[in-house]
């Protein structure tokens, strides 16, 4: 089992500062859950072009207000209690009127250090087997990542 608190990941490689957001990546590929799970703060007054061609993402807003605009011009207001799922890899502009706090889930999971390229894309990184970080109850006792298949 994994128990992790946001205070513990501040300033680590799970705490990624993008141009318009802070992405606190509580679960990553190396955790072996099959998805990554982020608590992301979007800066007030910003626009972010996003296009996850390699990933599916669900986003649940728990604080703040803004909108997303799709390529075809459709706009959707986002406020606390709104979920959107990018099940069609939709390219979109995310606008934050106030700071927005978003809970984001990615499938496949992010490795950790992905940031958007000029088109808003995160690269797909699949060069290593999915691993979990060993903890006191699991793994080989060294604290090194352990391949999922070796433990399941
Ligand atoms: C919706 C959103 O927060 N997009 C940008 C950042 C991304 N979710 C991440 O890496 O956490």
Contact of 63 with 101, CB cutoff 8 Å: yes
Residue from 17, 40, 76, 111 to probe ligand 1 pocket by mutation (most atoms less than 8 Å from CB): 40
Ligand 1 center to 40 CA (angstroms): 6
DSSP string, 19-60: SSEEEEEEE-GGGTSSSEEEEEEEPTT-EEEE--SS-EEEEE
Residue from 6, 19, 38, 83 to probe ligand 1 pocket by mutation (most atoms less than 8 Å from CB): 38
Ligand 1 center to 148 CA (angstroms): 26
Beta carbon of 55 within 6 Å of any ligand 1 atom: no
Ligand 1 center to 10 CA (angstroms): 17
> Whole-structure pTM over 0.75, yes or no?
yes
Share of the chain above pLDDT 90, in %: 68
- Report in angstroms the alpha-carbon separations of 74 from 69, 71, 90, 93, 100: 6, 7, 11, 11, 20
With tokens 């859950």, the residue in question is 33
Which atom of ligand 1 has the smallest separation from the CA of 16? 10
Using CB atoms within 10 A of its CB, is residue 33 exposed (0-12), middle (13-18) or buried (19+)?
A: middle
| Residue 14, pLDDT above cutoff 90 | yes
Per residue in 90-143, pLDDT (tens digit) is 999 999 999 999 999 999 999 877 777 777 788 777 655 555 544 444 444 444
Ligand 1 center to 127 CA (angstroms): 23
């Amino acid at each position: 089992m994994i128990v992790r608190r946001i205070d513990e990941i501040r300033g680590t490689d799970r705490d990624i500062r993008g141009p318009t957001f802070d992405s606190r990546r509580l679960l990553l590929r190396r955790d072996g859950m099959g998805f990554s799970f982020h608590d992301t703060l979007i800066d007030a007054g910003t626009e972010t072009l996003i296009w996850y061609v390699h990933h599916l993402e669900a986003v649940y807003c728990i604080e703040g207000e803004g909108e997303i605009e799709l390529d075809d011009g459709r706009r959707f207001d986002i406020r606390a209690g709104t979920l959107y799922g990018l099940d069609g890899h939709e390219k979109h502009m995310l606008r934050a009127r106030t700071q927005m706090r978003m809970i984001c889930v990615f499938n496949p999971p992010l490795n950790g250090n992905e940031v958007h390229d000029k088109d808003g894309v995160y690269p797909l990184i699949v060069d290593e087997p999915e691993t979990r970080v060993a903890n006191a109850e699991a793994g080989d006792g060294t604290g090194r990542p352990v391949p999922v298949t070796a433990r399941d």
